[in-house]
């Protein structure tokens, strides 16, 4: 036990050193490049973050009503989080049930087969035309993505449970519903948690990139405007901020699901 | 008695299985649903036919309208030079833009694999280095990668180089991390025994470790291919002036849903075919492990 704690601490220490080395290497490359407009160093990006956090008058002159980070972050991450919740919940139910009911597998298979392999971003233009540039189009797009990716993994997780485990439960008198609760759900939970974390990170990325295509508010909208201005530092500051908040959300999911995964050791 | 494989129509079984006829029925049901939706939206709204065009429109003007995306240089005149919309010109347009997209996706993907595999092997050989790279990758994993494509257009211009660099950036981390993790999961005797026979670290990496980790890498190589296709689409949607993603963006700008559906269908087909090819090649390479 103490050995594994030491190992985790060592991994964390080397991880932190890696990030520090990356930071220094980035700063050095930026210094030798000598052009903040091409490759700004971390300090320039940090400066851009500090000065843009509460809004930028220059962007407001361009007609952007909300140019501050908090409103745009809340918009982007709020939409992505709601979509992730809806899509993932539907994906878990559909995936687990489809692994045990052939008619449901037949219904979900075409969608999961095609969009399990094809980037969902390809459907973004269609969603924008149908549901407008507001949050609904992005919410549906991200929810659909989460449904597919979580559904595929949940189905595969349920199919990978050894049949003997369920047969043994049946010999103990558990009916189909009880076996689902006592055997299928706990066994499929670890891969489902892993894919939920992946779906959140990729869902946020999809939300931001859909906002690049057309949106009135959101981090993607700000990235599009800053990229048009050629402001690399601002684009990096916005992307890193989204990444850090997504990292915090990822840690929250890990902490929330840890008690349920304790049996894994 | 629990049924092992779902045979009853509405029963509960331990296992269900994919059925080709269900896939076919799903595609047909999707087409019928689209046509019904088109009729419904067309009858109830003024712009309905433009928003959900009927299938006959998708298969006629949706295809011929793509002639505008032909940029010339292959013989026939472009529509800007006075040529009429036609099926052959549309086929040329699809071919020209598909080739651009395919080259970017595959070049970026192969470059990511070519870089990610050796660097992953090198990183895995030194535990502190592997942990340090995992720390960086843990942060980079959470960045909205797809939304960073405008950065590459700023750095490399709206060029194929920018697209390939972006695809490589997106897929590289997947291959690198998977390689390092796969090496870490190998049983120690697998590398210790050849070392006693006098093999150098390089020989062990190439002749022992690389073949041994391939089965574990198969899923990651598929994931990287999927990431590569998402990245190539993102890079073409934002800035680059050729490729299927660019054509898709143009159909969005002018709300040409009939053409949008055709372009999206071609992109989906190419992406699906590429992933199947990766699956087939990696399956052959790892056939010994099954």
Set out the domains of chain B in order of their start, with CATH numbers. 82-281 (1.10.3720.10)
Residue-by-residue pLDDT tens, chain A, 265 positions: 455 678 778 888 888 888 899 999 999 999 998 888 889 999 999 999 999 899 888 888 887 888 899 999 999 999 999 999 999 999 999 999 998 888 888 888 888 888 888 899 999 999 999 998 889 999 999 999 999 999 999 999 998 888 888 888 888 888 888 888 888 888 888 899 989 999 999 999 999 999 988 888 999 999 999 998 989 999 999 999 999 999 999 999 989 988 877 776 5
Task: Please identify among residues 138-157 of chain A the ones whose CB lies closer than 8 Å to any CB of chain B.
Answer: none
A10 touching B (Cβ < 8 Å): yes
Residue B11 has what pLDDT? 60
Closest C-alpha to B167, from B227, B119, B248, B223: B227
Q: What is the overall mean pLDDT for chain B? A: 88
Residue B198 has what pLDDT? 85
Q: Is A112 within a domain?
A: yes
Q: Is A233 within a domain?
A: yes
Residue A121 per-residue DSSP state: G
Question: Cβ of B132 and A109 within 8 Å?
Answer: no
Task: Please identify among residues 189-228 of chain B the ones whose CB lies closer than 8 Å to any CB of chain A.
Answer: 226
Cα separation of A244 and B140, whole Å? 9
Question: Cβ of B144 and A247 within 8 Å?
Answer: no
Instruction: Name which of A10-14, B77-81, B213-217, B274-278 the model is least confident about.
Output: A10-14
Residues in chain B: 290
Q: Is A77 within a domain?
A: yes
Residues of chain A neighbouring B157 (CB-CB closer than 8 A): none
Q: Is A37 within a domain?
A: no
- The boundaries of the domain holding residue A158 are 71-264
Residue A260 has what pLDDT? 78
The neighbour count for residue B177, using CB atoms within 10 Å, is 21
CATH, residue A232: 1.10.3720.10
A24 touching B (Cβ < 8 Å): no
Q: Is A216 within a domain?
A: yes
Q: First and final CA of chain B: distance in angstroms?
A: 30
Q: Is A65 within a domain?
A: no
Closest chain A residue to B26, measured at CA: A110
- Give B148→chain A minimum CA distance, Å: 7
Is residue B174 pLDDT above 80, yes or no? yes
B126 touching A (Cβ < 8 Å): no
Q: Is A4 within a domain?
A: no
Residue A127 has what pLDDT? 93
Residue B147 in contact with residue B205, Cβ under 8 Å? no
Closest CB to A15 among B138, B229, B257: B138
* Full DSSP string of A148-208: HHHHHHHHHHHHTS-HHHHHHHHHTT--HHHHIIIIIHHHHHHHHHHHHHHHHHHHHHHHH
Percent of chain B scored above 90 by pLDDT? 46
Q: Is A29 within a domain?
A: no
Residue A154 has what pLDDT? 93
Burial track A80-119 (b if 16+ CB lie within 10 A, e otherwise) = bbebbebbbebbbebbbbbbbbbebbbbbbbbbbbbbbbb
When scoring A33, A122, A145, A242 by the number of chain B Cβ atoms within 10 A, the one with the most, hence best to mutate, is: A122
Cα separation of A61 and B86, whole Å? 45
A102 touching B (Cβ < 8 Å): yes
The neighbour count for residue B69, using CB atoms within 10 Å, is 24
Closest CB to A243 among B52, B139, B249: B139
Question: Cβ of A101 and B146 within 8 Å?
Answer: no
Question: Cβ of B143 and A121 within 8 Å?
Answer: no
Report the domain count for chain A.
1
The neighbour count for residue A260, using CB atoms within 10 Å, is 13
Task: Please identify among residues 65-94 of chain A the ones whose CB lies closer than 8 Å to any CB of chain B.
Answer: none
- Give B266→chain A minimum CA distance, Å: 10
pLDDT in tens, B30-65: 999 999 999 998 888 777 778 899 999 999 999 999
Cα separation of B176 and A188, whole Å? 27
ipTM here: 0.86
What is the three-class DSSP state of B15?
strand
């Amino acid at each position: 036990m103490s050995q594994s704690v030491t190992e985790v601490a060592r991994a964390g220490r080397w991880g932190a050193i890696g990030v520090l080395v990356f930071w220094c290497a980035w700063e050095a490359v930026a210094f030798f490049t000598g052009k903040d407009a091409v490759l700004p160093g971390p300090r320039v990006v940090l400066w851009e973050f500090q000065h843009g956090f509460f809004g930028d008058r220059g962007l407001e002159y361009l007609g952007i009503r909300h140019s501050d980070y908090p409103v745009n972050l809340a918009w982007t991450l709020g939409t992505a989080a709601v979509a992730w919740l809806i899509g993932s919940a539907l994906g878990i139910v559909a995936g687990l049930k489809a692994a045990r009911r052939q008619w449901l597998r037949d219904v979900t298979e075409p969608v999961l087969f095609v969009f399990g392999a094809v980037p969902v971003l390809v459907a973004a233009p269609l969603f924008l035309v149908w549901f407008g540039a507001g949050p609904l189009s992005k919410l549906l797009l991200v929810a659909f993505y989460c449904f597919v990716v979580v559904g595929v993994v949940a189905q595969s997780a349920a199919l990978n449970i050894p049949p003997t485990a369920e047969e043994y439960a049946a010999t103990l008198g558990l009916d189909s519903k009880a076996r689902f609760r006592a055997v299928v759900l706990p066994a499929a939970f670890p891969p489902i948690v892993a894919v939920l974390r992946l779906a959140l990170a990729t869902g946020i990325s999809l939300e931001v990139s859909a906002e690049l295509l057309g949106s009135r508010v959101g981090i993607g909208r700000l990235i599009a405007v800053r990229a048009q201005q050629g402001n690399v530092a601002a684009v990096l500051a916005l992307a890193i901020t989204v990444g850090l908040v997504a990292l915090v959300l990822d840690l929250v999911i890990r902490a929330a699901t840890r008690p349920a995964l304790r049996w894994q050791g | 008695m629990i049924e092992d494989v779902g045979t009853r129509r509405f029963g509960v079984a331990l296992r269900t299985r994919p059925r080709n006829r269900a896939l076919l029925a799903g595609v047909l049901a999707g087409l019928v649903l689209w046509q019904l939706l088109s009729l419904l939206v067309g009858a109830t709204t003024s712009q309905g036919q433009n928003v959900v065009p009927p299938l006959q429109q998708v298969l006629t003007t949706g295809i011929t309208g793509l002639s505008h995306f032909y940029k010339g240089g292959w013989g026939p005149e472009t529509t800007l030079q006075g040529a009429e919309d036609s099926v052959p010109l549309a086929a040329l347009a699809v071919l020209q833009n598909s080739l651009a997209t395919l080259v970017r996706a595959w070049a970026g993907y192969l470059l990511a694999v070519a870089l990610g595999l050796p660097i992953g092997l090198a990183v895995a050989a030194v535990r502190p280095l592997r942990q340090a790279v995992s720390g960086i990758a843990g942060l980079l994993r959470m960045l909205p990668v797809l939304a960073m494509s405008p950065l590459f257009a700023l750095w490399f211009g709206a060029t194929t180089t920018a697209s390939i660099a972006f695809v490589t950036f997106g897929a590289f981390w997947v291959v690198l991390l998977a390689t390092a993790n796969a090496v870490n999961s190998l049983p120690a005797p697998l590398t210790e025994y050849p070392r006693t026979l006098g093999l150098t670290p390089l020989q062990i990496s190439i002749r022992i470790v690389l073949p041994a980790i391939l089965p574990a890498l198969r899923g990651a190589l598929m994931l990287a291919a999927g990431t590569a296709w998402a990245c190539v689409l993102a890079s073409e949607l934002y800035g680059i002036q050729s490729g299927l993603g660019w054509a898709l963006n143009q159909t969005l700008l002018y709300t040409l849903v009939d053409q949008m559906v055709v372009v999206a269908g071609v992109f989906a087909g190419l992406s699906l075919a590429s992933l199947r090819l990766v699956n087939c090649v990696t399956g052959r390479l790892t056939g010994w492990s099954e």
